[in-house]
Structure 1
Amino acid sequence: MLRKSTNAGRRSAVMTGLLLIVGLVTGILSVVPVIDGADYLVKASTNENQVLLGAFFQLLMIVSYVGIPILMYPMLSKHHKGLALGSVAFGIIAGVFIILGVILLLLLLTVSHEFAKVGTLHATYFQTLGGLLRGGRDLVNHVATTLAFALAMFLFTCVFYQTQLVPRWLSVWGLIGSTMSILASLLFMIRFIGLDATYMVLNIPIASQQLVLAIWLMMKGLKPNGL
């Protein structure tokens, strides 16, 4: 029975590591440069494949964002059921916001197609509508989704820290990274910063920690007795 439980824990650790890498890769591939540019109303429709590909990879992020806390719940709940359940809840919330972000992205593509048909006849109307949709998408992606997933990872890492399922230094790194990511989203929400270098720098610690954690889980697994 112990051997069976150990094997199950090992598989969960490896799968969690893979999902962490999937989340990082799909997050990068979901970026749609034509939407972030100043002339997005013109370029989105002429680069439809880029937009649709970005939407596809953004949807794939759900597998990672929702799958990680669910996959680790059976083991983490043995140590702290409340934190494990909270991590699952925030992961699911992040998944819902990802879907909303994709919908807004596809609506922007539709607006771009309509703008291409009418030209500059109703330019102000389309610019206003496009601005609202793009602003809404930025808030959903970089505030709502990021906050939900960062909170999921924060609770997730709290259990790691308490139980030493992974090294303490890796857990501390994750707690600091999650906190900085939350800070970046809040600062962006109040318009103190934009989607600029400052925002990226604040998110580097959590991204790098997730990569190291993924490698650790796949190579070392979890150590219930501490390290």
Structure 2
Amino acid sequence: MNHSKKAAKIVGVLFILATVSSIIGVLLYDPILKDPNYLITGFEHKNQVILGALCELVLVCSAVGTSIMLFPFIKKHSESLALGYVCFRLLEAVIITVGIVSVLSLLTLSQEFVEAATPHATSFQTAGTLLKAVHDWTFLLGPNFMLGINTLMCSYLLYQSKLVPRPIAVMGLAGATLILLAAVLEMFGIILQLSTWGAVLAIPVASYEMILAVWLIVKGFNVSAIASTSIKT
């Protein structure tokens, strides 16, 4: 049982680490994603942008880590769904990584613009717009759409297995549904991702992850649920 407690604490820490690193990463990207003069300010804040990319790499590793650490426990209820959770978590991480590459490519573009003797502004602006669009779409598809799908799978398995209190799992199911709805509405341009409605629809899944993380760190998995599953197996 000590192994299950240790694994639960690691999962909880990884969930918190993923959330914190994602927030810090987004804030550090401001000079190159939010500033109208990003072709100049991006390179001027090169180290800050690179630090933001490193934070998102921490997010990627943490996200994949949660699924790997949870897999041995949730597969006992449904191995196919548990494997699906790992795969979709990995797909979410891949999409986020594509977004990181787009930001770093934008940083290179900014450097080329600053160092060019007579830069062709229109060409640089067009390339920059495309790279920013890639980041925006990956930011929508990864942390929103794919997050919703893998959270649905994980929450359902946690609900059925009773590894954590069912109200927490229900909160995850509700949060996943809302973030999926947000992703669809954002794809059709009905709401903006960085808007009041976008935040309202994203808060439940973020709250679920933090509550789940704290529960796993403090209480761990339900020992009786693990024992019951082992006996059945």
- Structures share fold, TM-score greater than 0.5: yes
CA distance in 2, matches of 1:94, 1:119: 40
Q: Which residue matches 2:70?
A: 72
Q: Which residue matches 1:26?
A: 21
The answer to whether the 8 Å contact 1:163/1:224 transfers is no
Letter in 2 for 1:61: L
Secondary structure class of the residue paired with 1:38? coil
* TM-aligned CA distance change 1:212 to 1:145, over 3 Å: closer
Q: Which residue matches 2:208?
A: 209
The answer to whether the 8 Å contact 1:30/1:55 transfers is yes
CA distance in 2, matches of 1:23, 1:154: 18
Letter in 2 for 1:132: L
Superposed counterparts of 1:1-227, under 5 Å: 6-31=1-26, 32-34=29-31, 35-118=33-116, 121-194=119-192, 195-223=194-222, 225=224
**TM-score, normalization by structure 1:** 0.91
Letter in 1 for 2:106: L
CA distance in 2, matches of 1:11, 1:149: 25
The answer to whether the 8 Å contact 2:74/2:161 transfers is no
Number of aligned residue pairs: 221
CA distance in 1, matches of 2:159, 2:141: 26
Q: Percent identity?
A: 36
The answer to whether the 8 Å contact 2:155/2:169 transfers is yes
RMSD of aligned residue pairs (Cα, Å): 1.7
The answer to whether the 8 Å contact 1:23/1:61 transfers is yes
5+ long unaligned stretches in structure 1? 1-5
CA offset at residue 56 of structure 1?
Answer: 0.4
Letter in 2 for 1:24: T
Letter in 1 for 2:94: V
CA distance in 2, matches of 1:38, 1:184: 27
The answer to whether the 8 Å contact 1:158/1:175 transfers is yes
Letter in 1 for 2:22: G
Q: Which residue matches 1:3?
A: none
CA distance in 1, matches of 2:118, 2:208: 47
Secondary structure class of the residue paired with 1:191? coil
CA offset at residue 119 of structure 1?
Answer: 7.4
5+ long unaligned stretches in structure 2? 226-233
